[in-house]
Structure 1
Amino acid sequence: DQATADGLDMREQAQRAAIRVADDVLPPGLVSQLCRVPAEGADSLHRLVMDLHRAINDIAAGLAETDIAGARAYRLDDRDRQRVAAFMRGLNRTAPLKFNHPGLATNAMRDGPRLIIQNDLGTTDAHVLIVQIEGQDDAPRLSVLHSDIHRQRLEFFQNRLPALTWTQSSRQLPGSEQGQFTLATGILQAADLPALDAALETLGASLVFLIDWNKARKSLRHFVSGPAAVALLHWAADHEYGHRAYLEAGGETMIGDLLDTVSQLTGGSYGTMQRALGQDGTMAFLREALRTSSEALRNGQSPPAIRDMLQAELMTRVASMADRILDDAIDHAALILDLGSLVHAALLGNVPDLLAAAARAQR
């Protein structure tokens, strides 16, 4: 509408007026000033560009001529529609795993020789995904541009798409973590259109696992190391369980409460999950927590029901661990008793074959 356009124009003029360039020499700090994410409520060229980006998306959505499996599409030909359908096939397969989180809205349009697919990954300005497809006639080429404030999440995403060749460029800006951006570009020269469609489907299916990824990683870090937490998130993505259900069910707060409850019920004092289950046991239980949360929430079960199921699972695993420890202790005690008996007999001269007794002790 005109009021929105006028407001954007006034902001542009204000940004222009704030730029002072004399004799074609940029003053120190100007580039950082133009690119910086401002404090809440303040304006900047970066914020203006992002708002213009949203306005263009709104216009594109209003111009959409058709809907392709949920994607708003504009000026596409038949081949373009097939490519968008492949992307949406993957996205729609895993999109339910975001549950009530916003994001994953898709726009598609043709711009000259390129088909462009843009996906709204969430609510963060710096978290953007743009897909470009060229050369559908003879040499299909897929380009993925993905910017993120979390480098580890970006690396996770790249590892989900090993068929693409990736390059990164980073810029560290003053201020909080929200001012740190990494831009990754992935390129795939597909052998043919079926290979291109397969890559697009894989790409679409991978996007839901980026939503709240860093939140889930930090949650799992309460129980395992950083690399182990990322490995768990890869496992959840590989099996298409995701991590959003785990967070919806309570995340680390739920797991911590379960450990406290089990400690009280068993009379143990574990303190940490790894003390209760060991490192491997903790990884196994967290995988079960990710799986159970996802399946139960998709089946309409409530977080309290998920908690009850995981409490029973944790009780079983703690009891099993206690049984193994007790068995090991009994075996150890029996061995000590056997060795003591042999030593006692040897001292009294009641062992005729000391070499055989020594061999027995080693066993």
Structure 2
Amino acid sequence: MHERVELLKLRGEAVIDFSIAISHFPAPAPVRAAVRAALDEPLLPYTAVGGLPALRDMLAAKLRRENHIDAQAHHVIVTNGAKQALYQSLYVMTDPGDTVIVLRPHWPAYVATAQLLGLHIVLADQPDVVDAAFLDALPVAKVLMLNNPHNPTGKVYTPAELGAIRAWLRARGSACIVDESYEKLVFDGEHHSLAACPDWETLGITTIFSASQSYAMMGWRAGFACAPAVWIKAMEALQGPITAAVPALTQAAAAAAFAIGAVPELLADYRARRDLVVGLFAPVPWIAMAAPASGPYLWGDVSALTVDTVAFAETLIDDYRVAIMPGEALGCPGFIRIGYIADDEATLRRGVAAIIALGDRWAAAGAAH
């Protein structure tokens, strides 16, 4: 959908893009300053495949300080965004045919990556509360994949839920990949890392981080993974022939970004936008949308209107030039995902008005039929 938006824009058409989250914020000033300083250096050499030693040391210190994960530099690999970290983690943790559990709705890359690696994918509907009863009903699996904070629902796992997951991993002998890319985008509650426990390495927990959304650095492709040391060595061996090290400029940007911590002004702006859009949809009878506890997306239940949200999304971009992500792409027909952080407020309001106009049109046509 985002590619279609780009093609329409190349033709000179005005399109509002809610299909992915593209922040209207610039990258933080320290990030831009760090890159400018790196450009003044006479050389930008290749680095070690897993990242500059100083950067890996710094990221390990960040994990200990902010996430309470007992990590050292040899537990960290710097990657080209979260997707490379995901692919390489899943590659070294599984063999073709192994079962991986993905909770639905899901970031599309989880399923696509597992398909590329020939894995058996079990989709399970994520409950409001993850507890022992839910976990015990899951099948035997090599890897459980989690997203905390969650894309697209904005769910933030509680300490009790994380404790139940750790107990399940110990009992089952399953490993876990948890994507914590939105750790700094929490509006309500507090983010806790699954690997914040003494036996995280024994349990086989890999944690993925990205600067893309937390620091408005979508195009920088700056991410990293924290994993048991033996898996990190395997991921380095894999990354070497694929891309080698992350570009030196991106590593400079990553060092500056992950040293910042949270970005309060960005979070306050997103919270205000979240509340605005949820308020605009509140009186609309055919959509149910709760204010998410985190993240750059809104997740709307339109099943009262239609479960064919692919058709809804196609009509919306064809007739109104507004792009959204249909729920089918995330495993849940009858829902739509809205990336609400792009452009200015006036554009945001126009896009929401177009979604409501199409929905009202469909609702009227359904009532007449």
Considering Cα pairs closer than 8 Å and 6+ residues apart, tell me whether 1 or 2 has the greater RCO.
2
TM-score, length basis structure 1: 0.21
The higher radius of gyration belongs to: 1
TM-score between both structures, scaled by the size of structure 2: 0.21
